[in-house]
């Protein structure tokens, strides 16, 4: 067979490598910043306590951190590894250089857009899908470019057999596309504001179907593909069991797609959906641990290399982290353990084992190894890489262990009763101040990890300077002999299937879609899943505006709106949350973490003045609170110019606003705002300090209106029944 | 609203089809060669013009 000569595109790999390092530093820096805000809530009040800076508040920075780390750091790290390994596994240059460049620059532009819009409060509030609709569309377009480039390369490959790593890339490509589109179906109302097309329970299910699979198919499957390429390459020995890798792949993609509802155990999600999620989550331990064992055993007989080679050290800790996280995941899906772990810092510790160890260390190892490959030289300093390894490992431990302690402390304090049946820690704040030392240790862990990563940056920059880059690397391979699409005599079925890339992609898509459709479609379309509660009414125009402020400020990052049917929660917060209460919640705002208390039944619990003072200075009403100040809410005028548009948009989604209600929206809004100002003026302190200001026009009034409405509809219904 | 019956119906049909395909795959011995690919990927096909001029790669010892 005649051999062909061709060039691998190393330039694009290098571009993604630099982007990975840059966004890694940025994402981790923001992470450290938000970790410090737990310990020093006033850290970023540069302009004085009464002039808090809105775009530096926790609720807006937290989504910036998660998006930067997941999509910017790990995202670029995935593309880095995919672009390098795909070309070599398929013995072909990437399908199209222009597409590669569009993919790279498009992805960076999206990251920059996210870094601007998220601090501005332009968010859809759905976790890891916070970006507003124009950016969502850009993400889909760039993802399609990536898809064409990947599939195109597969089609023009010179290696008939498709190595297991490529399958993982294909599964990532297809599944993320499907999930991202489904979860981001939105009704745009203005250029940067939209409402999720699903509400309440349905929105929650779609969100966590996506949210869990963002973990599964963005932070796991592509990294597993990278593991199956880079671990054997670096160790220079074949994967422990290629057969196991095939089983790993198929079982993983079949099981992962069903696991999402374990994020919603004990919530208002129907019981059958919760149990479905639990069962599949527990089964997931088998493929996950199969993969972990396969990765670690690849190093059998090569452990002496691990001692010598920092890259393998990173890989070993990374794969071990994968094993730990995928052990914890199924455990946390058991309902009785979930009852303890949910809403606590245990979950934050759990995801950071995945992020810092599995994702961060895999990528660090790959970056070090590729630095030598790309610049054709030795690494600037192996010692520095070893230092990074130890700083990073210590950082992970210092991060995770305190948060596990914090998580259990919170759970047990929340649930502890006195003999007379009252809560031991009736004041939620006690459970916050108790774990502040743990938050301080977590920040130390983060500092260690970030310091290690900065050493990586220095090391790679120095290596690049010393070496000489080969932009286009010459390679040689025989062209693929045309063979019939049918199975060749003696060819196994899977071998044949692997040759049929397009067919394979379609089958993978189908496998994934089945999981998604069967789980979600009935809930969306069969209304009987949600017992309707007659007293639940749509939000008033002012409350709607207030709710949008709640979303803008990211309140749901720290406050849940979902009281689980436990004695301890009913005692603390009030009646447990019912599915029917959320039918007009576009999007749902259940939250996933209780840094502060649940707010679903906060309506009517305090008077308007309490909320006013609390927003202005949380410490004044709740000494020791770590909530940020929201002083801009009493300065900013409420912009309600789009309220009719918003209501019309919601009508399109099924909210029963009448035409008269929409026409009179502004009037009604003003009337309700006036009433709240009147309530506020009952307090002489308020009159003394703010008597001259026209508070009814300010944003705070809308937020108070929304908070006072929260969870009250059901009470109105109960009073009516009496 | 009726779309639900179509989508679920189609999903189940495809699921059954996919399951049969998988079973057949196992029975027909699709895992015949589950060794060569793992070895093949270890070989680089880059053409190095003068091997002596390049330093040894540290991590490929």
Give A239's contacts (C-beta < 8 A, 6+ positions apart): A164, A228, A231, A232, A245, A294, A295, A298, B38
Question: Which residues does residue A195 pair with via DSSP β-bridges, in sequence order?
Answer: A187
Q: Which residues of chain B does A237 touch, with a Cβ-Cβ cutoff of 8 Å?
A: 42
pLDDT digits (tens, 9 = 90+) for A348-372: 999 999 999 999 999 999 999 999 9
Kindly list the distances between the CA atom of residue A86 and the CA atoms of A83, A149, A236, A349, A596, in Å, as whole numbers in the listed order.
Answer: 6, 11, 18, 33, 46
Q: Are A473 and A83 in contact (CB under 8 A)?
A: no
Percentage with pLDDT > 70 across chain A? 92
Which among A577, A257, A235 is positioned nearest to B59, based on CA atoms?
A: A235
Q: Is the dihedral of CA A658, A653, A273, A278 positive or negative?
A: negative
In the numeric block, the tokens 């910017």 are attached to A72
User: Measured between CB atoms, does B45 come within 8 Å of chain A?
Assistant: yes
Taking only the tens place, the pLDDT of each residue in A138-183 is 998 999 899 989 989 988 888 877 888 988 998 888 878 877 877 7
Nearest to A207 by CA among A263, A281, A162: A263
- What is the per-residue pLDDT across A596-632, written as a single tens digit (0 to 9) for each? 999 999 999 999 999 999 999 999 999 999 999 999 9
Sign of the torsion formed by the C-alpha atoms of A605, A611, A615 and A621:
negative
Which of B38, B55, B59 has the highest number of chain A CBs within 10 A, making it the mutation to test binding with A? Answer: B59
- How long a stretch of residues is chain A? 722
pLDDT reported for residue A161: 78
Does some domain include residue B46?
no
Alpha helices per DSSP H over A531-683: 541-552, 567-573, 608-616, 618-621, 643-652, 659-663, 665-680
- What's the pLDDT at A469? 77
Of A324, A349, A495, residue with least CA distance to A411: A349
Instruction: Tell me which residue of B2, B55, B39 sits closest to A239, measured CA to CA.
Output: B39
Q: Name the residue facing B41 among A232, A477, A517 (closest C-beta).
A: A232
Tell me whether residue B12 is in a domain.
Answer: yes
pLDDT digits (tens, 9 = 90+) for A333-345: 999 999 999 999 9
Which of A8, A295, A514 is most worth mutating to test chain B (most B CB atoms within 10 A of its CB)?
A514
Confidence of residue B14 (pLDDT cuts 50, 70, 90): very low
Torsions phi, psi of A554, nearest 5? 65, 35
Query: What pLDDT, in 10s, does the model give residues A460-517?
Result: 999 999 988 778 888 888 887 665 556 666 667 777 666 666 666 666 776 666 666 6
Please give the Cα distance from A1 to A322 (Å, whole number): 43
Q: What is the pLDDT of residue B5?
A: 42
Pick A309's closest partner by Cβ from B28, B29, B59: B59
Determine contact: B6 vs chain A, CB below 8 A.
no
Tell me the CA distances in angstroms from A425 to A39, A404, A429, A558, A590, one per residue in order: 21, 20, 9, 19, 23
Distance CA A2, CA A394 (A): 53
Quick check: is B15 in a domain? yes
Structural domain span for residue B2: 1-29
Q: How far is A437 from chain B (nearest CA, A)?
A: 41
Report CA dihedral (A181, A184, A187, A190) to the nearest 10 degrees: -120
User: What are A30-35's contacts with CB under 8 Å, separation 24+?
Assistant: A30/A61, A30/A64, A30/A65, A30/A68, A31/A65, A31/A69, A31/A446, A31/A450, A32/A443, A32/A446, A32/A447, A32/A450, A33/A61, A33/A65, A34/A58, A34/A61, A34/A62, A34/A65, A35/A439, A35/A442, A35/A443, A35/A446
Q: How many domains does chain B have?
A: 1
Collect all residues of chain A within an 8 Å Cβ-Cβ radius of residue B7: 517, 521
Q: Select the more confidently predicted residue: A88 or B35.
A: A88
pLDDT at A499: 62
**Which chain A positions have a beta carbon within 8 Å of B30's beta carbon?**
492-497
Per the domain annotation, does B14 fall within a domain?
yes
Picking from A234, A239, A522, the nearest residue to B4 by CB comes out as A522
Helix, strand, coil percentages, rounded to 5, for chain B? 60, 0, 40
Cβ-Cβ pairs closer than 8 A, A with B, add up to 118
pLDDT for B53 beyond 50: no
State the pLDDT at residue A654. 82
What gap in Å lies between CA A204 and CA A586, rounded to an integer? 10
CATH superfamily of A541-721: Cytochrome c-like domain (1.10.760.10)
> Residue A524 above 60 pLDDT?
no
pLDDT of residue A233: 95
Instruction: For A476-525, give the DSSP string.
Output: EEEPPPP--SSPPTT--HHHHHHH-HHHHHHHHHHHHHHHHHHHHHHHHH
Fold topology of A3-379+386-480+505-519: Cytochrome C Oxidase; Chain A (1.20.210)
For B5, name the nearest residue in chain A, comparing CA atoms only.
A522
State residue B4's pLDDT score.
34
CA distances from A213 to A180, A221, A355 (A): 10, 10, 15
CB contact under 8 A, B61 and A309: yes
Token readout for A59 is 């609720």
Paired residues of A473 in beta bridges: A8
Q: Which residue of B has its CA nearest to A307?
A: B59
pLDDT tens profile A15-49 = 999 999 999 999 999 999 999 999 999 898 888 87
Q: Is B60 on the interface with A (CB under 8 A)?
A: yes
Nearest-CA neighbor of A366 among A315, A307, A308?
A315
Tokens for A675? 């009433």
Question: Which of A376, A474, A507 shows the shortest C-beta gap to B54?
Answer: A376
**Quick count: other Cβ atoms within 10 Å of Cβ A271?**
9
**Which residue from A5, A378, A496 is facing B55, i.e. has the nearest CB?**
A378
pLDDT in tens, A378-391: 999 999 999 999 99
What is the end-to-end Cα distance of chain A in Å, rounded? 88
Q: How far apart are CA A511 and CA A502, in angstroms?
A: 14
pTM of the predicted protein model: 0.90
Name the residue ranges covered by the structural domains of chain A: 3-379+386-480+505-519, 541-721
Residue (of A330, A355, A292, A343) closest to A128 by Cα position: A355
Which of B7, B29, B54 is closest, CB to CB, to A517? B7
CA-based Rg of chain B, rounded to a whole angstrom? 24
Query: Rounded to a whole number, what is the distance in Å from the CA of B36 to chain A's nearest CA?
Result: 9
State the DSSP H helix or E strand holding residue A214, giving kind and residue range, or none if neither.
Answer: helix A200-217
Asked whether the beta carbons of residue A492 and residue B31 sit closer than 8 angstroms, the reply is: yes
Query: Which residues of A fall within a CB distance of 8 Å from B25?
Result: 493-494, 497
Residues of A in contact with B31 (CB under 8 A): 243, 246, 492, 494
Question: Which residues in B lie closer than 8 A to residue A299 (C-beta atoms)?
Answer: none
Q: A204 with A344: CB under 8 angstroms?
A: no
At residue B48 the predicted structure's pLDDT band, cuts being 50, 70 and 90, is low
Q: Token pair 């409060």 is at which residue? A: A121
Q: Residue B3: pLDDT above 80? A: no
- pLDDT tens for A649-694 read 998 888 889 999 999 999 999 999 999 999 999 999 999 999 888 8
CB atoms within 10 A of CB A585: 20
pLDDT band at B51 (very low <50, low <70, confident <90, very high): very low
């Amino acid at each position: 067979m005649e051999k062909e000569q061709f060039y691998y595109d190393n330039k694009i790999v290098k571009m993604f490598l630099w982007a990975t390092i840059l966004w890694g530093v940025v994402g981790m820096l923001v992470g450290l910043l938000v970790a410090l805000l737990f310990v020093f809530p006033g850290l970023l009040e540069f302009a004085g306590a009464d002039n808090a800076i809105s775009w530096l508040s926790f609720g807006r920075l937290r989504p910036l951190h998660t998006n930067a780390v997941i999509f910017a750091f790990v995202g670029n790290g995935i593309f880095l590894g995919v672009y390098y390994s795909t070309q070599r596994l398929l013995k072909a240059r990437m399908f199209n250089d222009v597409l590669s460049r569009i993919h790279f620059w498009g992805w960076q532009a999206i990251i920059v857009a996210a870094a601007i819009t998220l601090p501005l409060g332009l968010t859809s509030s759905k976790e890891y899908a916070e970006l507003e609709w124009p950016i969502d569309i850009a993400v889909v377009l760039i993802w399609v470019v990536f898809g064409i480039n990947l599939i195109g390369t597969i089609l023009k490959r010179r290696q008939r057999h498709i190595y297991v790593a490529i399958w993982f890339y294909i599964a990532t490509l297809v599944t993320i596309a499907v999930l991202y589109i489904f979860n981001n179906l939105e009704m745009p109302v203005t250029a940067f504001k939209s409402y999720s097309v699903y509400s309440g329970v349905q929105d929650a299910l779609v969100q966590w179907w996506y949210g869990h699979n963002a973990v599964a198919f963005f932070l796991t499957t592509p990294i597993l593909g990278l593991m199956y390429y880079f671990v054997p390459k670096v160790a220079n020995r074949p994967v422990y069991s290629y057969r196991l890798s095939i089983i790993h792949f198929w079982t993983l993609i079949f099981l992962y797609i069903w696991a999402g509802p374990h994020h919603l155990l004990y919530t208002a999600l129907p019981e059958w959906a919760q149990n479905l999620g639990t069962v599949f989550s527990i089964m997931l331990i088998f493929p996950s641990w199969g993969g972990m064992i396969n990765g670690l055993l690849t190093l059998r007989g090569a452990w002496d290399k691990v001692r010598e080679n920092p890259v393998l050290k990173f890989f070993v800790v990374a794969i071990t982290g994968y094993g730990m996280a995928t052990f914890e995941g199924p455990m946390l899906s058991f309902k009785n353990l979930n009852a303890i772990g949910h809403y606590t810092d245990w979950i934050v510790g759990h995801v950071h084992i995945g992020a810092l160890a599995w994702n961060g260390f895999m990528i660090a190892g790959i970056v070090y190894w590729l630095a030598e490959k790309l610049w054709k030289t030795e690494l600037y300093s192996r010692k520095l890489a070893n230092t990074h390894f130890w700083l990073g490992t210590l950082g992970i431990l210092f991060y995770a262990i305190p948060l596990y302690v914090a998580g259990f402390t919170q759970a047990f304090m929340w649930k502890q009763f006195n003999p007379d049946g009252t809560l031991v820690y009736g004041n939620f704040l006690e459970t916050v101040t108790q774990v502040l030392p743990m938050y301080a240790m977590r920040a130390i862990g983060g500092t260690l990890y970030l310091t290690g990563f900065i050493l990586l940056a220095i090391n790679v920059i120095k290596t690049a300077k010393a070496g000489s880059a080969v932009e286009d690397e010459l390679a040689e391979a025989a062209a693929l002999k045309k063979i019939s699409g049918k199975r060749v005599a003696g060819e196994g079925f899977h071998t044949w299937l692997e040759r049929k890339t397009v067919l394979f992609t379609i089958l993978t898509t189908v496998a994934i879609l089945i999981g998604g459709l069967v789980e979600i479609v009935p809930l969306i379309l069969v209304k009987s899943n949600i017992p309707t509660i007659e007293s639940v009414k749509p939000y008033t125009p002012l409350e709607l505006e207030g709710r949008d402020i709640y979303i803008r400020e990211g309140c749901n990052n720290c406050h849940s709106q979902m009281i689980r049917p436990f004695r301890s929660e009913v005692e603390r917060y009030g009646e447990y949350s019912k599915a029917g209460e959320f039918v007009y919640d576009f999007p749902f705002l259940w939250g996933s973490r209780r840094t502060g208390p649940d707010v679903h039944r906060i309506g009517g619990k305090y008077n308007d003045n309490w909320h006013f003072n609390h927003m202005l200075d949380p410490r004044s009403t709740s000494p020791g609170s770590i909530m940020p100040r929201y002083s801009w809410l009493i300065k900013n005028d409420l912009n309600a110019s789009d309220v009719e548009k918003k209501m019309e948009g919601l009508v399109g989604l099924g909210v029963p606003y009448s035409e008269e209600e929409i026409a009179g929206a502004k009037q009604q809004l003003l009337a309700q705002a006036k009433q709240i100002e009147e309530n506020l003026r009952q307090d002489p302190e308020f009159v003394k300090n703010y008597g001259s200001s026209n508070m009814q026009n300010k944003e705070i009034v809308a937020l108070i209106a929304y908070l006072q409405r929260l969870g009250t509809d059901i009470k109105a219904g109960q009073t009516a029944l009496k | 609203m009726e779309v639900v019956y179509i989508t679920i119906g189609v999903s189940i049909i495809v699921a059954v089809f996919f399951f049969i395909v998988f079973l057949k795959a196992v029975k027909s011995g699709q895992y015949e060669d589950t060794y060569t690919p793992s070895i093949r990927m270890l070989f680089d096909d880059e053409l190095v013009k003068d091997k002596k001029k390049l330093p040894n790669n540290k991590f490929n010892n």
